[in-house]
A and B are shown apart, each in its own frame.
Chain A
């Protein structure tokens, strides 16, 4: 069990008052707050080790290169990947998915192929495929979700075929918090000779994710949703798949050698080793260092403890919110099926007004469509408010949140 009161001491932002009230931060599905260990790692990097990576023989560059490589190794271990060759640093989940679409999809998908995505999908997982399909003319197919936000496995099995080349689904829905059975989907995808790409932005921060156990081919997540800085995230890929993929951003770092042929007047390029082949240009070195500190912090807390704490909070919040008839909760009411994300509405009020009201008491929640519009349209909702929890949230905060919701007029 983790002690959120002790954890809070590591987060400087909780000293802040908002509108003269203590800050209650319930928008963790959007981004998380940062512990001083992460802030200090970033500060230490710029104060003591700053230099470009992979370039120079001097001490500072050696140090920054080692830190940046270690960051890849730490992330690899965190999700049980086979070393840093399988971890590509990117700006975040969105860039990771675009990387797969353009470095793999552009070269592998033809008009007779299909890409299968689920309607629980975050925009970032739909848009790159819809865009690419305009170039490569393949079909984008959608598998349904049930009314409670869970993936409809029957619809999924009906939609998949030997035409399917890649299946994309979120591990955990950013709207309902439902955990999808990725292992089961991966097995089916592989039976049809399809790859599977998992949007793990809402799972890696909250659950123990083991890419070998899940047997997924590609998996993407963002650092800023797991205590790390913004602008850094990772794409995991099985080594043999990454080796076959074409590069994404052309530029420095991703090439081993460029030779100019004076006869043809053309350059020939030999690509760098994994993962650098996909990290063209000077990378976000400091972001990598910050992400490494975040991973270490979460390892110290223990991912089992993170999950257990969120489950306790979610169960408690569900129970307290259901005491009040004017509060409608969407998605499954069984906390064991989900991560700590609670979509809700207050009868007679727009979700934006609920969020504005809570803000005036120092409580930060999200309102609107949460970047997953298709799911909302399925639910026939205008918009919802969303509270999402993390390791530093407490039962006392939920008490205050529910009390205020009851008083709203």
Chain B
């Protein structure tokens, strides 16, 4: 039987088939979930952060499409060894560039990956009770996308739970 590839560039297909840093991290310093229940894409980011605010390890779990897996994989690669301040500066556009481009209908996958990263960083400082001056008070564009979506998921699962209990 002949085989026809998915309409992604080779780099995305490679990352989709052989993702880096896939799986749960038991000793993570911080975890962040970002989901879009409308398209079904959902990711969990795990970061291991040392006392100097450097990301020592990063991994992810994904319940999404190839673009979602590829962008999450590349973000976890990019941030390993990075200071949180520098990781914070990663934009979704640079992630799309790093995977060699995405179809425009898949841009939201890159946004979701960066949103998960930024939410993890924000949560880390919130837990620590510290607020560095580079950390914006207002949520960033990417966080907003992930936040709203996660809240939507919460609302839906709450409603389902209420029904199950009846």
Contacts and interface: CB of A to CB of B under 8 A. Distances in A.
Interface of A: 119, 142, 349-353, 356-357, 359-360, 367-369, 373-374, 377-378, 382-383, 404, 406-409
B3 A368 contact: no
B40 A369 contact: yes
A89 B45 CA distance: 49
A409 B65 contact: no
Nearest to A358: B7
A373 B37 contact: yes
A325 to B, nearest CB: 13
B161 to A, nearest CB: 10
A97 B160 CA distance: 22
B130 interface: no
B65 A352 contact: yes
Contact of B103 (A349, A356, A368, A373): A356
B63 to A, nearest CB: 5
Contacts of B67: 353
B5 A368 contact: no
Given A350-B65, A407-B3, A409-B6, A356 B156 contact: no
Nearest to A368: B39
Interface in B19-46: 37-42
A244 B7 CA distance: 56
B160 A374 contact: yes
| 7 closest residue pairs by CB, A with B | A383-B40, A350-B65, A407-B4, A360-B7, A409-B3, A352-B65, A382-B40
B153 to A, nearest CB: 10
Interface string B130-161: 00000000000000000000000000110110
A373 B1 CA distance: 36
B4 A377 contact: no
Contacts of A353: 6, 65-67
A338 to B, nearest CB: 23
B68 A350 contact: yes
B93 interface: no
Contacts of A119: 163
B32 to A, nearest CB: 19
Given A142-B163, A407-B3, A409-B3, A374 B40 contact: no
25 contacts: A142-B163, A349-B65, A349-B66, A350-B64, A350-B65, A351-B40, A352-B41, A352-B106, A353-B66, A356-B65, A369-B40, A373-B37, A373-B156, A374-B160, A377-B157, A382-B42, A382-B63, A382-B64, A383-B40, A406-B1, A407-B1, A407-B3, A407-B4, A409-B3, A409-B6
Contacts of A409: 3-6
A407 B2 contact: yes
A382 B163 CA distance: 19
B149 to A, nearest CB: 12
B39 A352 contact: yes
B4 A350 contact: no
A406 B2 CA distance: 9
Interface string B80-108: 00000000000000000000000101100
Of the listed residues A350, A351, A378, the one surrounded by the most CB atoms of chain B closer than 10 A to its CB is A350
Contact of A356 (B2, B4, B6, B64): B6
A374 B158 CA distance: 11
Contact of A374 (B6, B64, B65, B159): B159
A57 B144 CA distance: 55
A409 B37 CA distance: 25
Contact of B6 (A142, A351, A367, A408): A408
A377 B160 contact: yes
B38 A350 contact: no
A368 B65 CA distance: 11
Given A350-B68, A356-B103, A368 B7 contact: no
B99 to A, nearest CB: 15
Contacts of A142: 163
Given A356-B106, A374-B159, A377-B157, 16 more contacts: A142-B163, A350-B41, A350-B65, A350-B68, A351-B40, A352-B65, A356-B6, A357-B4, A357-B7, A377-B160, A378-B160, A382-B64, A383-B40, A404-B4, A407-B2, A408-B6
